[in-house]
Amino acid sequence: MSQDGPGSSSGLDRLSLNTATCKRLSLADCVELAARAGLGAVGPWRDRVQEVGVARAATMIRAAGLRVSTLCRGGFLTASDGRARRDALDDNRRAIDEAATLGTHELVVVVGGLPAAFARLGLPMTDADAHDKDIVAARDRVADGIAELVPYACERSVRLVLEPMHPIFAADRGVLQTLGQALDLAAPFPAEVVGVVADTYHVWWDPQCRAQIERAGRQGRLASYQVCDWILPLAPEPLNSRGLMGDGFIDFPTITSWVRDAGYTGDVEVEIFNEDLWALPGDEVVRLISERYRALIAPHLG
């Protein structure tokens, strides 16, 4: 991956602004902020891309001299209802097409939670889903869904990047909890088609974190590195409990060195869900993440 771009002279060439970090801003705003601050990339969420159209989004990002580090997100493949599964697969194919048009190789896949929790996220839910709490079966359906999507992704040179999620999100957002689980699921497929993302918020607690990052590196499956901090107390909505690097309890120098030693040379994407951060002006958010990146992460990237 080439690292040439606006950030090449600012020391921020590998820093990417995930649009969720500035959730209330448009894609155009995020692109302008990233380019003006000297970042090298952006990581858009699909809702922001769809607001302007994928072709226009791709043109906008390229014109600013930025890369697309990843597209967030595909996934939610755990439905047991046949129609819901078909709809989810169709949506993932659209996401793959969007990633290809944007020029990114990496589509982050949040695999989905238990069908019994679909209503919590406003997802369609059948009567059968309402009583489906079988996490083993849900993981099996994820594996089946990935297998079905692999040929389509391969044809479009897009990699499905599995995101393990902290156990507090197992019920509603992701039934894969560890990098080890994600790598096991990826194992039957080529590394250039199915990979994993190491998101510090989700993996920092795992006793096998270092070993599994090393494993991902050996296999060529470490497709993305996302950063934010684990802060306490948790927000009433735990999803929005992410913090700026350095405000919580994650050891970024150590984890970053593991990622570096695993051979990762791609972008470092800052993805923070936090109501207080969203209330700040966008340029202040980018200033803060840039400062924390320079202090806690860049010195350990090698």
Which residue positions in the chain have pLDDT lower than 70? 1-10
Contact 96, 74 (CB under 8 A): yes
pLDDT at site 3: 45
- The secondary structure of residue 240, as a DSSP letter, is G
Query: Is the torsion defined by CA of 144, 72, 124, 152 positive or negative?
Result: negative
Which spans in the chain are helix H?
27-37, 46-52, 54-63, 82-102, 127-130, 135-155, 179-186, 200-203, 209-219, 252-261, 275-278, 282-296
Structure-block tokens of residue 147: 């297998």
Q: Is 245 left (phi over 0), alpha (psi -120 to 50) or beta?
A: beta
For residue 186, being part of any structural domain is answered with: yes
Q: What CATH number has the domain bearing residue 115?
A: 3.20.20.150
For residue 155, being part of any structural domain is answered with: yes
Count CB neighbours of 54 within 10 A. 19
Report the interhelical angle of 252-261 vs 209-219 (nearest 10°).
30
pLDDT tens for 211-268 read 999 999 999 999 999 999 999 999 999 999 999 999 999 999 999 999 999 999 999 9
For residue 255, being part of any structural domain is answered with: yes
pLDDT at site 26: 98
For residue 80, being part of any structural domain is answered with: yes
For residue 1, being part of any structural domain is answered with: no
For residues 168 and 179, give the distance between their C-alpha atoms in angstroms, rounded to a whole number. Answer: 15
How many domains does the structure of the chain reveal?
1
Host domain of residue 54: 6-300
**Which pTM does this prediction carry?**
0.95
pLDDT at site 262: 98
Which residue(s) pair with 260 in the sheet?
A: none
For residue 74, being part of any structural domain is answered with: yes
Q: Which of 252, 264, 158, 177 is nearest to 217 (CA)?
A: 264
For residue 113, being part of any structural domain is answered with: yes
